[in-house]
């Protein structure tokens, strides 16, 4: 069984982890075309190379980012999500919300 290194808990069997999909930047949902949005929702990077992925260590519910080579399955490195997502994300302010 493969080992993955959790930035919080160290190296563990891959069975302790949950895959969370590729890291994808969400397009501006108010200005994106329907086609581009569908592309964002349904398509994943599938060319050979290093992909950025969400993984969660299940016993600690800790989400982090893994850089993995999708052909060799080598995990190049893992790091906490806050190294990638440093800023608070806001959407356009609510008006007249009930």
Partner 1 sequence: MKRVKNAHFGQWIDPSQTIQFTFEGGLVQGVEGDTVASALLANGQWVQSRSFKYHRPRGPLTLCGYDANTLVQTPVAPNLLADRLPAEDHLAVTAQNYTGSLHFDLSRLLDWFGRFLPVGFYYKAFFKPRGIWAWWEPIVRKTAGLGISNLSVKAPYNDKTYAFADVAVIGAGPAGLNAALLAANAGAQVTLVEQEPRLGGSMNYHAFEGNYETTKSARDALVAAIEAHENIDVLCSSTCNAWFGDHYLPIIQKSRLIKLRAKQTILTTGSSEQHVVFRNNDLPGVVMCSALDRLMRLYGVVPSAPVVVLAGNDLAYRTAFSSQDGGANVAAIVDLRTTYNDPALSDEAKRRGIALFQGCGIYEATQGLFSHGLSQVDVHKLDERGEVAEKLVSIDCGLLAMSAGFMPSYQLACQAGAVLSYDDSTSQFQLSNLPQGMHLAGSVNSVFSLDLVEADGRNAARQALSNLGIAPDSETGSAEDVNFTEQVNHPWPFLKHPKGREFVDFDEDLQIKDIINAARMGYRDIQLVKRFSTVGMGPSQGRHSALPTARLVAKTTDRTVHETGVTTARPPLMPEPLGLLAGRRFHPLRRTPLHHRHIGLGAQMTPAGSWQRPAYYGDPVQRTACIQAEVRAVRQGVGIIDVSTLGGIELRGSDAPEFMNRLYTFGFVKQPIGKTRYAVLTNEQGVVADDGVAARLGEYHYYVTATSSGVDRVYRDMLRWNAQWRLDLDIANVTSAFSAINVAGPLSRQVIESVDCSVDLSAQHFPYLAYQEASVAGIPARMMRVGFVGELGYELHVPSPLMGELWDRLLTSGKAHGIRPFGVEAQRLLRLEKGHIIIGQDTDGMTQPDEVSLRWAISSKKPFFVGSKSVDILSKSPLERQLVGFELGATSPQPKEGHLVIRNGHIVGSVTSCEYSPTLNKIIGLAYVHPEDAVPGTTVVIRTDDAVHAHARVVKTPFYDPDNLRQAL
Partner 2 sequence: MSVHLDHIFESPLRGLSHEGDISIHDLTNRHRWGLRGQGAAEALRIQGWDLPEQPNRLVASINQSFVMALSQREFWVLDPHNDAADLAMGNDFTTDAYPLFCQSSHAWLVLKGSETSALMAKLCSVDLRPDAFNLGDVAQTQMALINCIVVRHDLAGDDVFSIFVDQSYAEYALEALLDARQEFL
Rounded Cα distance between 47 and 56, Å, is 24
Per CB under 8 A, 31 contacts partner 1 = no
Interface residue with partner 1, options 10, 39, 41, 52 (CB under 8 A): 41
CB nearer to partner 2: pick between 43 and 85 = 85
Detail the DSSP E strand segments found in 15-72.
Answer: 17-22, 50-57, 62-69
**What DSSP element (H or E) covers 4?**
strand 3-6
Region binding partner 2 by CB under 8 A among candidate stretches 21-29, 54-62, 66-74, 84-92? 54-62
Per CB under 8 A, 60 contacts partner 2 = yes
């Amino acid at each position: 069984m493969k080992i993955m290194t959790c930035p919080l808990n160290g190296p563990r069997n891959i069975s302790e982890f949950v895959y969370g999909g590729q890291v994808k930047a969400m397009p501006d949902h108010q200005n994106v075309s329907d086609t581009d949005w569908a592309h964002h929702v349904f398509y994943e990077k599938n060319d050979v190379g290093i992909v950025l992925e969400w993984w969660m260590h299940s016993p600690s519910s800790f989400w982090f980012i893994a850089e993995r080579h999708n052909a060799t399955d080598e995990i190049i490195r893992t790091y906490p999500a806050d190294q990638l997502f440093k800023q608070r994300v806001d959407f356009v302010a609510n008006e007249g919300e009930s």
